[in-house]
Amino acid sequence: MRQMRKTGYYTAFIGLFMAAALTVTACGASAKAPDVSSVVGGSETAADSAVGFQKIDTADKGNSGDTAAAGSGAGQAQPITGAAPADGEVLSGIPIDTEKSEAVSIYYGSVCYSFFSEDKDRIKAVADLFTGFSLEEVPNGQLDEATTYQIYFSTDTEQIAAINVDKSGMFYIPEEKKFYKVKAGTFRFDTLDEIYKDSMYADGFDENQCLIQ
């Protein structure tokens, strides 16, 4: 499994698990624990990130605690499509500075496997998923924790972007502490799912082998 650097961009991720009081249990290798002892380069603090995630209501998540999360049981991941764009509407999505980003990491539900890449082509491939659609705010939105992907773009010293999105197409932007859904265009959740799972399987893991409990 990939070894990941301890940088500030993991603070939002660890905030979620601090808020939920979870511990990591893995078969084989596990992700290196994020280091939140200091805050770097304008990233949110662990406390701020935890507060952001505490806003996410996960009480009604059924049996997701043992997460068939990446789960085949829930069916194949699908693209999230909104309305047809209006004439002249710009589908800017969520802008990500790929030139500045040096790494991308992806977490999923309760699965402890963490996708991590410093390859510029992989960084761009993931960032490109967040183009081609527009968003509208959803007041009091909720994420389905069991099917939520957490995506982070970073350098060694700062977080460039953090995005959370679940299988239904609900987005949460930690920096803004706001929820959104696709208004127009298409978000390729299925491609994000494929990138993560292909990497996980290539590294010898599956979603039921490595769970956070």
pLDDT of residue 191: 96
pLDDT of residue 80: 84
Nearest to 121 by CA among 139, 104, 134, 144: 104
The reported pTM is 0.66
Contacts of residue 198, defined as CB under 8 A and 6 or more positions apart, other chains included, come to none
Which segments in the chain show pLDDT lower than 70?
1-75, 88-89, 210-213
pLDDT of residue 85: 77
> pLDDT for 10-21, tens place per residue?
333 433 333 333
d(CA 115, CA 98): 17
Percent of the chain with pLDDT over 70: 61
One of 3.50.50.60, 2.60.40.4250, 3.30.70.420, 3.20.20.410 is the CATH number of 8-56+74-202, namely: 2.60.40.4250
DSSP one-letter string for 136-187: EE-TT----GGG-EEEEEE-SS-EEEEEEE-TT--EEETTTTEEEEEEEEEE
pLDDT of residue 155: 96
Domain regions of the chain by residue span: 8-56+74-202
